């Protein structure tokens, strides 16, 4: 099986091509959004993945959008993550941290100054929601447009977070440019209507995400940095006037930088965090973009073990990510190799809580 074959990722060798997708689970220790032993247990249980990408992790307090998500901007958080990386490495696993700023998908209750969330432009995400700091569902507020000096400071926050991730013992980092969060908000014209150097043309809209990426590469080197993208994704009210031109251009820029992988979410699975419906009318982004990228192309979104194997055989991807199936199957690679039945996942325990639906899914043996 191709899924079970090794994969070179820069100077790392992944033991298989079954990658654990970044999955927000909102179970960090409070106060302080600090990774804890429970999280280390959860990730170590899944160390047989070729690579684990952690749940999205805020680079600053301003970057938080949901309660209980972990950060990588305080000393305590760095020590918390050290337990996680140690536990995964002891089980022979590899783990990258997903670096995140939610931008407009926040609520003033998460903001350090209690003020409005920030974004490229003062445009609210419609039909979207989040949770306040005390776990109350809320609509998305109309954000405040960032000043240029603030944009420069967010680049510094990502850089500091990348430095912290190194200190915490990760094998690399993934920059989250997908799913309608801050960097994606800058990329796409529906959320970016700036008239300065950071908005307007495609070259201007990619500027800030690339400044962030360059700062992160500066810390880690290109071989240890990947990027997550979600072209045509509609989650968090995203839209663009010409996604093909935008992402073609961005991928060219990623090629120039030589980053080690792209992780692209198939738009059919744009609602995976909220419901099970797949949109089979959505374009296939691995068909559209895989051949444009020079590095390792990881595809995510709505795969079963069977369709994942087919995608590798048809050269639509170099590796496949599983999200929901990794939640309920800590030993997913073993189950795939034995063609064993998969545990069903319980959606009611995806976000928040403790062990239930987190560390208590059974393994085969
Ligand atoms: C509970 C849950 C949490 C998620 N959290 C994140 C996240 O933190 N970062 C991210 O980039 N994607 C996140 N996603 C999207 C997944 O990484 C993945 O792209 C999506 O679930 C589709 O893959 P699947 O069909 O294998 O589940 C999340 C999805 C789910 C179901």
Give the nearest ligand 1 atom to 55 CA: 8
Q: Kindly give the interhelix angle for 148-167 and 207-220, rounded to the nearest 10 degrees.
A: 30
Measured between alpha carbons, how far is 62 from 150 in angstroms, rounded to an integer?
11
Distance CA 274, CA 267 (A): 14
Hey, what domains does the chain have and what are their CATH numbers? 2-349 (3.20.20.70)
143-172 residue pLDDT tens:
999 999 999 999 999 999 999 999 999 999
Mutate which of 99, 180, 272 for ligand 1? The one with the most ligand atoms within 8 Å of its CB, which is 272
The DSSP code sequence of 37-89 is HHHHHHHHHTTTSSEEEEEEEESSGGG--STT--BSSSHHHHHHHHHHHHHHH
Phi, psi of 250 (to 5 degrees): -60, -45
User: Is the pTM above the cut of 0.95?
Assistant: yes
For each of the chain's 365 residues, which pLDDT tens digit applies?
Answer: 999 999 999 999 999 999 999 999 999 999 999 999 999 999 999 999 999 999 999 999 999 999 999 999 999 999 999 999 999 999 999 999 999 999 999 999 999 999 999 999 999 999 999 999 999 999 999 999 999 999 999 999 999 999 999 999 999 999 999 999 999 999 999 999 999 999 999 999 999 999 999 999 999 999 999 999 999 999 999 999 999 999 999 999 999 999 999 999 999 999 999 999 999 999 999 999 999 999 999 999 999 999 999 999 999 999 999 999 999 999 999 999 999 999 999 999 999 999 999 999 999 98
Q: Which of 66, 181, 232, 303 is catalytic?
A: 181
pLDDT per position as a tens digit, 196-235: 999 999 999 999 999 999 999 999 999 999 999 999 999 9
Phi, psi of 14 (to 5 degrees): -85, 140
Residue 181 catalytic?
A: yes
């Amino acid at each position: 099986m191709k899924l079970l074959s090794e994969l070179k990722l820069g100077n790392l060798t992944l033991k298989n091509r079954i990658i654990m997708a970044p999955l927000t689970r909102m179970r960090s220790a409070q106060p302080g959004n600090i990774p804890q032993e429970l999280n280390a247990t959860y990730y170590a249980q899944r160390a047989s993945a070729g690579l684990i990408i952690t749940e999205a992790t805020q680079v600053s307090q301003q970057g938080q959008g949901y309660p209980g998500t972990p950060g990588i901007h305080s000393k305590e958080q760095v020590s918390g993550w050290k337990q996680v990386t140690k536990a995964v490495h002891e089980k022979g696993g590899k783990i990258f941290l997903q670096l995140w700023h939610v931008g407009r998908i926040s609520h003033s209750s998460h903001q350090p100054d209690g003020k409005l969330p920030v974004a490229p432009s003062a445009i609210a995400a419609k039909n979207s929601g989040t949770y306040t700091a005390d776990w109350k569902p809320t609509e998305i507020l109309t954000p405040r447009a960032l000043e240029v000096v603030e944009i420069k400071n967010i680049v510094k926050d990502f850089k500091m977070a990348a430095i912290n991730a190194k200190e915490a013992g990760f094998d690399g980092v993934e920059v989250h440019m997908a799913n309608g969060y801050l960097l994606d908000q800058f990329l796409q014209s529906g959320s970016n209507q700036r008239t300065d150097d950071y908005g307007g043309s495609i070259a201007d809209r990619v500027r800030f995400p690339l400044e962030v990426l360059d700062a992160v590469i500066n810390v880690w080197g290109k071989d240890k940095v990947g990027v997550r993208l979600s072209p045509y994704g509609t989650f968090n009210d995203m839209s663009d006037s010409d996604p093909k031109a935008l992402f073609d251009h961005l991928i060219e820029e990623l090629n120039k930088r030589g980053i080690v992988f792209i992780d692209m979410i198939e738009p059919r699975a744009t609602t995976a965090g909220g419901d099970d419906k797949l949109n089979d009318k959505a374009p296939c982004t691995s068909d559209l973009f895989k051949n444009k990228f020079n590095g390792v192309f990881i595809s995510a979104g709505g795969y079963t073990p069977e369709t994942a194997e087919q995608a590798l055989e048809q050269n639509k991807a170099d590796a496949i990510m599983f999200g929901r199936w990794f939640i309920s199957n800590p030993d997913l690679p073993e189950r795939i190799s034995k063609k064993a039945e998969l545990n069903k996942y319980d959606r009611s325990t995806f976000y928040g809580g403790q062990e239930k639906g987190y560390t208590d899914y059974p393994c085969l043996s």
